[in-house]
Chains A and B, each alone.
Chain A
């Protein structure tokens, strides 16, 4: 056995150990990262088992065993290691030759061979391992409440939930929603608030938007109904006031009776639509209104006191509808333009005095009067198609009656058969006369060669073809220019 062999074997073992150490350190960094993630996941979802560190140590031991096995499989070729040992010792090939020939006679001269050191630039591996260790310790020590915050961050929607609760309260208090419907909506709102998560905020916001949209739809529909009732109430109120002012003379008796009849119809209609809610009136007004409705239904006119009480009841109902619109608008349940259409008072701001005079003139036909006064009674706002976003469409075309048009005289024209051949040219013909004709009329701006008949010359070589075109069978030919 060569004296070199022990040193060589030490060198081989040193290289192998270094390779195992390198693999273990690098894999440990990865292992710590994975272990940190696992620990974090377990802590987020449940509690760590009591003997978790045993599993940790066991897995690390397994890692070391795998690293050792892998590096054993990848162990460098001993011949190459021998060559490296020779090179590092500047042995001049003696160590390499020792594997092939007897070199003992030279080994004494070469002296003791030093073991080369195996160096691994492990800075990056150590840095990675330390960072992974810090991550692992952080995962182990981070408070769970913060961990849960990371897992399920809160979503701030308290203001939206409060607003929606107030909207539901308003809808319930105004009898737009039944108590059961309101309760269902509250439960749905609470469920949305409970399930709100910062991880998926869009889902929560979409649900809240859906609830808000439903509330708005219900409120808007109710507001539109209320608006039409308010208009009818205004109409009835106006008529009632006009009747109140109407002189009770013999001549007016017919108009008064007719007005009463109209008022009765209006009141009945309002009653059927539910616009006259007796629950909103004081008991004496309720009684007066029922009495008035009864008399009106029998075709009898109320006395002055009854009419006054009836008007007061109508005003109360108007106030109730206005209050409803105001509350819905305050909670943002109806758009502002719809809320603005709720106006107190008489129809179109008409003064009942002149209306009484007009009513007298029309024999008490209030509906006809309204139709005639339609444009003036259009309300305080601009003309529109009512609530909603329907586009404003134009109707019939405007009449041309009374419109004035600029007169334009056409120039004198010569029939084609009376035209004379002035000459033949292949370019644009020079205008030598006829400016009076061309200077005005429909051909005023016509250019030579621009395509009109007067300017297009027919060349002699085309004459036959043109003639053949106009004399083709089935066509009544015009006169062919000679």
Chain B
């Protein structure tokens, strides 16, 4: 036990928890009726992951990204992806300029990707060429042009959005790029009560300014604490078994996976789930990751990574339902008790 990393002390974790609570409160204050979504997005940011928002226009995707940037005091750029958008429009390009000494040289003009938070609006409208240009930025957090690699500012997040109903003239994201998003978050419509509050409290839809902002030190402290959130081996084992069971030929795969899944999730999903579970534990103010943290993030982590077969399309089964079955049927502990024996909370 002496060789094991030291667990966070309450005195170390509590300030971080307080910061996350403040961030969530500010987000909830600025954007009404999206508490769980705010928590999920913050979980993604703490995990240093990219987020794909999927929802109808006008639901507040841009407002969400703008609010986060404002609260965290991070640079924010927004790119509207269109079919004629070229990689250079996103990454930047070299321009021939004359220097003061009279020489002409190629000067790099950074694109909008050189920011902390990039909102890639309607990312599926861009051509595959431009979508591919995002691969390196999302994974390596760097841009390589003319043989020169430039690091992006840290932290760097891509929050992309796509419209699920207007599919004509779009280029669905390839699996390789989808896999680079930590979460795919569904942006549902708000209920009538929230809408009434928005109408009465938000004239012209203007967002209120946050009355508290996190500093760069706060953000760095959060990332430092994140590194020390402890992932117990049984939980890591559960994540591994969960990801393995998404493959239809795996022994533990439930019936719905065998019936509807063509390809399961990648090891990147397991890594993402571990990180997201850590962030979820941090938001809950716990130094260790529990099974409930995994359950909280399993669906947004895996729902865009599962590739369903035609049978699922015929039966109108989506990834969310398959994952629900998977989470319900798989015992977290792997305890091999007889089926007629169960454990109940005292």
Binding between chains A and B: yes
Tell me if B344 counts as interface (CB < 8 A to partner A): yes
Chain B residues contacting A105 (CB-CB under 8 Å) are 7, 9-10
Contact of B337 among A76, A79, A86, A93 (CB under 8 A): A76
Q: Say yes or no: A93-B235 contact (C-beta < 8 A), given A80-B335, A87-B333, A118-B341.
A: yes
Contacts between chains A and B (CB distance < 8 A), count: 131
Q: How far is the CB of B287 from chain A (nearest CB, A)?
A: 6
User: Could you tell me the distance between the alpha carbons of A77 and B333 in the complex, rounded to whole angstroms?
Assistant: 10
Q: Say yes or no: A97-B7 contact (C-beta < 8 A), given A92-B290, A114-B345.
A: yes
A105 — nearest CB in chain B belongs to which residue?
B9
User: Could you tell me the distance between the alpha carbons of A118 and B338 in the complex, rounded to whole angstroms?
Assistant: 12
B13 — nearest CB in chain A belongs to which residue?
A106
A2 — nearest CB in chain B belongs to which residue?
B1
Contact A109 B232 (CB under 8 A): no
Tell me if B4 counts as interface (CB < 8 A to partner A): yes
Contact B340 A120 (CB under 8 A): yes
Chain B residues contacting A120 (CB-CB under 8 Å) are 340-342
Contact B345 A88 (CB under 8 A): yes
Digitize A360-383: 1 where CB-to-B-CB distance is under 8 Å, 0 elsewhere.
Answer: 000000000000000000000000
Q: How far is the CB of A26 from chain B (nearest CB, A)?
A: 10
Digitize B284-322: 1 where CB-to-A-CB distance is under 8 Å, 0 elsewhere.
Answer: 101111111100000000000000000000000000000
Q: How far is the CB of B241 from chain A (nearest CB, A)?
A: 12
Q: How far is the CB of B346 from chain A (nearest CB, A)?
A: 4
Tell me if B234 counts as interface (CB < 8 A to partner A): yes
Q: How far is the CB of B293 from chain A (nearest CB, A)?
A: 7
Contact B345 A97 (CB under 8 A): no
Digitize A75-115: 1 where CB-to-B-CB distance is under 8 Å, 0 elsewhere.
Answer: 01101111110111111111011011111011001000011
Q: How far is the CB of B216 from chain A (nearest CB, A)?
A: 29
Q: Say yes or no: A89-B7 contact (C-beta < 8 A), given A22-B338, A80-B334, A97-B288.
A: no
Digitize B37-77: 1 where CB-to-A-CB distance is under 8 Å, 0 elsewhere.
Answer: 00000000000000000000000000000000000000000
Contact A101 B290 (CB under 8 A): no
Contact A83 B6 (CB under 8 A): no
Tell me if A195 counts as interface (CB < 8 A to partner B): no
The CB with the most chain A CB atoms within 10 A, among B4, B5, B340, is that of: B340
Tell me if B187 counts as interface (CB < 8 A to partner A): no
Tell me if B343 counts as interface (CB < 8 A to partner A): yes
Q: Say yes or no: A102-B338 contact (C-beta < 8 A), given A80-B333, A96-B235, A117-B346.
A: no
User: Could you tell me the distance between the alpha carbons of A238 and B291 in the complex, rounded to whole angstroms?
Assistant: 122
User: Could you tell me the distance between the alpha carbons of A99 and B1 in the complex, rounded to whole angstroms?
Assistant: 8
- Name B256-278 residues within 8 Å CB distance of A: none
Tell me if A19 counts as interface (CB < 8 A to partner B): yes
Contact B343 A118 (CB under 8 A): yes
Tell me if B332 counts as interface (CB < 8 A to partner A): yes
Tell me if A116 counts as interface (CB < 8 A to partner B): yes
Contact of B234 among A82, A117, A119 (CB under 8 A): A82
Contact B335 A76 (CB under 8 A): yes
User: Could you tell me the distance between the alpha carbons of A116 and B342 in the complex, rounded to whole angstroms?
Assistant: 10
The CB with the most chain B CB atoms within 10 A, among A97, A99, A106, A116, is that of: A97
Q: How far is the CB of B294 from chain A (nearest CB, A)?
A: 10
Tell me if A438 counts as interface (CB < 8 A to partner B): no
Chain A residues contacting B338 (CB-CB under 8 Å) are 22
Tell me if A462 counts as interface (CB < 8 A to partner B): no
Tell me if A121 counts as interface (CB < 8 A to partner B): yes
Q: How far is the CB of A88 from chain B (nearest CB, A)?
A: 5
User: Could you tell me the distance between the alpha carbons of A396 and B238 in the complex, rounded to whole angstroms?
Assistant: 104
Contact of A18 among B7, B232, B287, B341 (CB under 8 A): B341
Contact of B284 among A22, A86, A92 (CB under 8 A): A92
Contact A119 B344 (CB under 8 A): yes
Contact B293 A103 (CB under 8 A): no
Chain B residues contacting A101 (CB-CB under 8 Å) are 1, 4-7, 230
Contact B288 A79 (CB under 8 A): no
Contact B336 A94 (CB under 8 A): no
Contact B290 A106 (CB under 8 A): no
Contact of A116 among B284, B286, B291, B343 (CB under 8 A): B343
Contact B344 A88 (CB under 8 A): yes
The CB with the most chain A CB atoms within 10 A, among B6, B288, B342, B344, is that of: B288
Contact B7 A103 (CB under 8 A): yes
Contact of A84 among B10, B235, B333 (CB under 8 A): B333
Contact B10 A93 (CB under 8 A): no
Q: How far is the CB of B335 from chain A (nearest CB, A)?
A: 4
Q: How far is the CB of A201 from chain B (nearest CB, A)?
A: 47
Contact B345 A93 (CB under 8 A): no
Chain A residues contacting B287 (CB-CB under 8 Å) are 94, 97, 106
Tell me if B233 counts as interface (CB < 8 A to partner A): yes
Chain A residues contacting B9 (CB-CB under 8 Å) are 105
Contact A116 B345 (CB under 8 A): yes
Q: How far is the CB of B292 from chain A (nearest CB, A)?
A: 7
Contact A100 B233 (CB under 8 A): yes
Tell me if B281 counts as interface (CB < 8 A to partner A): yes
Chain A residues contacting B344 (CB-CB under 8 Å) are 88, 116-119
User: Could you tell me the distance between the alpha carbons of A19 and B338 in the complex, rounded to whole angstroms?
Assistant: 9
Q: How far is the CB of B237 from chain A (nearest CB, A)?
A: 9
Contact of A102 among B1, B10, B341, B342 (CB under 8 A): B1
User: Could you tell me the distance between the alpha carbons of A90 and B281 in the complex, rounded to whole angstroms?
Assistant: 12
Chain B residues contacting A96 (CB-CB under 8 Å) are 232-235, 288, 290
Q: Say yes or no: A92-B288 contact (C-beta < 8 A), given A76-B337, A84-B335, A105-B10.
A: yes
Chain B residues contacting A81 (CB-CB under 8 Å) are 333, 335
- Name A41-78 residues within 8 Å CB distance of B: 76-77
A100 — nearest CB in chain B belongs to which residue?
B4
Q: Say yes or no: A86-B290 contact (C-beta < 8 A), given A76-B335, A96-B235, A100-B233.
A: yes
A94 — nearest CB in chain B belongs to which residue?
B288
A104 — nearest CB in chain B belongs to which residue?
B7
Q: How far is the CB of A403 from chain B (nearest CB, A)?
A: 90
Q: How far is the CB of A104 from chain B (nearest CB, A)?
A: 9
B344 — nearest CB in chain A belongs to which residue?
A117
User: Could you tell me the distance between the alpha carbons of A89 and B232 in the complex, rounded to whole angstroms?
Assistant: 16
Chain B residues contacting A86 (CB-CB under 8 Å) are 234, 290-291
User: Could you tell me the distance between the alpha carbons of A133 and B338 in the complex, rounded to whole angstroms?
Assistant: 25
User: Could you tell me the distance between the alpha carbons of A99 and B232 in the complex, rounded to whole angstroms?
Assistant: 9
Chain A residues contacting B6 (CB-CB under 8 Å) are 101-102
B338 — nearest CB in chain A belongs to which residue?
A22
Contact B343 A93 (CB under 8 A): no
Q: Say yes or no: A87-B341 contact (C-beta < 8 A), given A80-B335, A81-B335, A101-B230.
A: no
Apart from A87-B332, A90-B292, list 6 A-B contacts with CB within 8 A. A22-B341, A83-B335, A93-B289, A100-B230, A118-B342, A119-B342
Q: Which 9 pairs, one residue from A and one from B, show the smallest C-beta to C-beta distance?
A: A93-B288, A96-B232, A92-B290, A93-B290, A114-B346, A83-B333, A83-B234, A97-B288, A92-B286
7 A-B residue pairings within 8 Å (CB atoms): A83-B291, A87-B290, A93-B230, A94-B286, A96-B233, A101-B6, A118-B344
Residues of chain A touching chain B, judged by Cβ–Cβ distance below 8 Å, are: 15, 18-19, 22, 76-77, 79-84, 86-94, 96-97, 99-103, 105-106, 109, 114-122
